[in-house]
Amino acid sequence: MGGREGGRRGDLLLYAFSVKKPNIVHRTSNIGKRITNNETRCPGKGSGRRKMSATKKFGESGGKVEEVERTPAEQLLLESEEKYKTLVENTPQKIFTKDRNSVYVSCNENFARELGITPEEFKGKNDYVYFPEELADKYRADDKRIMESGETEEIGEQYIQGGKALWVHTIKTPVRDVQGNITGIFGIFSDITERKRVEEEIRKMNTELEQRVADLTAQLEAANKEFESFSYSVSHDLKSPLQHITGYAELLNKRAYEAIDEKSRQYLRIITDSAVRMGKLIEDLLSFSRMGRAEMMKKKINLDSLVKEILRDFQADEKGRAISWKTGPLPEVYGDTAMLRQVFVNLISNAYKFTKKRTDAVIEIGSVCGEKGEVCVYVEDNGVGFDMKYVDKLFGTFQRLHGADEFEGTGIGLANVRRIIHRHGGRVWAEGKEGEGATFWFTLSA
């Protein structure tokens, strides 16, 4: 129960305990005659004596009134008292009042039933009668603190009953008289044992889930490290025999060039070209492996300066191509300079490569503001594009959407981009359309 809501409910129930019956005083002249002077005192505004007309007689014996007419105010007050009494007795919460000495003055049926007694038996007792001494000491200390401060308090507490641990949520508020003096305590409490049990189960489940996630993460990291170590070892070990293949193929081509036919020379060229491609693949694989293990040296980086420096190298090697380079304002970001340089080199290389068949090639690098302080950077081109149904393949290792005879490459570049951006805590994705170009996006912290 929240503080304000609990307070309103407490005030409502407190009023139910506080309301008193009207002070009705009967004056009769003689038994057996009609009531000739029947007066009533009612509390509140206009309090005082008020004449009432009587229509019934006292009985001949016992002096009991068979029926007395009430004023509308009296009737409303009694009806109100019955409504609040019904509310108090039927609420699932346990309700009680105490005097300044922490002696119980009243309680509802629900509380008395909990203790196996009646509300009448409850009156005049204190907490030491029904609760262990340590718990009774706490309750009394709570009462004293609340009566001294004059403030309502919400208290969550646990106690043992019949060997079973129970949790209760209690609201205690001071009771005041008409002059505002504190005369005791009004309390209402609920058994929240089941709620606590569910909360504890959820807490355990969350702890177990966190542990499982931690275990799986550790296993994944171990598997990644093992794969990186394996990749590095294999790639490094392959370099030596590959160099032998390339070297001996070239020597054979020079030595036996005149002695072999054109078909044989073509075979040697294929061997040499394949070995060169294999060497490039190994170098990319080593780079990919190193990128996962390299220590990051983060600092503020001016992307605008970094991209202009990279573009100078590409523009110097255009080889007669007409490329329209467009760059928008790029912000400063926080990251590793060498790694982010590799990201731009790979993405611009892709754009450069896949626009080679366009006479009006356009490559654009820019940025827009993202969410929560992140920067979204893009590299866009009007090259061959791709079918979006294959978008999930783009950033995978050795994944290619075009043949090596059409566009050179090893299928490592975009995988490296994704790895670097993920290490920077960012995201990477792509958009494209066949024949119209592609846009590659990534995010970084500003």
Residue 35 confidence class, pLDDT cut points 50, 70, 90: very low
Q: Which residues are 439's β-sheet partners? A: 380, 431
Instruction: Identify the weakest region by mean pLDDT among 57-61, 181-185, 344-348.
Output: 57-61
Structure tokens at 234: 């294999």
- What was the pLDDT predicted at 90? 73
Nearest to 300 by CA among 334, 265, 255: 334
Structure tokens at 417: 């981009």
- What was the pLDDT predicted at 145? 95
206-243 tens-digit pLDDT: 999 999 999 998 988 888 777 777 767 776 777 778 88
Decide: 398 and 412 in contact? Cβ < 8 Å.
Answer: yes
Name which residue leads in pLDDT, 238 or 139: 139
- Percentage of the chain exceeding pLDDT 90: 25
Can you tell me the mean pLDDT for 133-139? 89
E strands, 285-436, where?
Answer: 298-302, 323-327, 332-336, 361-369, 374-381, 428-433
H-only helix segments in 52-161: 72-90, 109-115, 119-122, 127-130, 133-149
Instruction: Identify the weakest region by mean pLDDT among 30-34, 41-45, 196-200, 375-379.
Output: 30-34
The yes-or-no verdict on residue 11 having pLDDT over 70 is no
Which residue reads 């390339």 in tokens?
Answer: 246
User: 230-242 as b/e, with b when 16 or more CB fall inside 10 Å?
Assistant: ebbeebeebeeeb
Residue 21 confidence class, pLDDT cut points 50, 70, 90: very low
| Residues 254/256/259/262 CA torsion (nearest 10 deg) | -60
Name which residue leads in pLDDT, 8 or 232: 232
E strands, 196-295, where?
Answer: none
Nearest to 361 by CA among 419, 437, 253, 267: 437
Model pTM?
0.45
Q: How far apart are CA 441 and CA 236, in angstroms?
A: 32
